[in-house]
Amino acid sequence: MGKRDEKILQYTTAAKKLKLGLSDDLIAKVTVGLGPSIYKKDSETVSCTQQSELDTVKKNFLQKKLGLPADDAKFDAAIKKVCDTMGSSNRTKYRALFYALLTKEFGKESIYA
């Protein structure tokens, strides 16, 4: 099993534990799409309390990757929902799961087809 496969297994296991309702296939495709960032401790996770991090999620993922038109109110609401879904006591919000939940929230799974 390669490093990427180990990360995918780690994320799918975490998703099941948190009862996120994500398909293993979507998690795997989002993980592959993240490239080498999943191997760096700091970039592997998302901090819901760091505004600069959330701005990066909006700009680089929601607008660039998913192709959504800029809408801060809509983005903020979706990000807050994902933060709440993953749990405030959960200090390890994996970026792959965070992005998969946002992808599902906006109905953009077809981007990873």
**DSSP assignments along the chain, one per residue:** --HHHHHHHHHHHHHHHTT----HHHHHHHHHHHGGGGGSHHHHB--TT-HHHHHHIIIIIIIIIT-PPP-HHHHHHHHHHHHHHH-TT----BHHHHHHHHHHHTT-GGGG-
> pLDDT tens-digit profile of 53-87?
999 999 999 999 999 999 999 999 999 999 999 99
> pLDDT tens-digit profile of 87-99?
988 889 999 999 9
**In the numeric block, which tokens belong to residue 62?**
């929601």
Query: At CA 26, angle to CA 89 and CA 29, rounded to 5?
Result: 110
CATH number for the region 3-112 comes to 1.10.238.120
What does the pLDDT read at residue 113? Answer: 85
Could you tell me the pTM of the whole model? 0.96
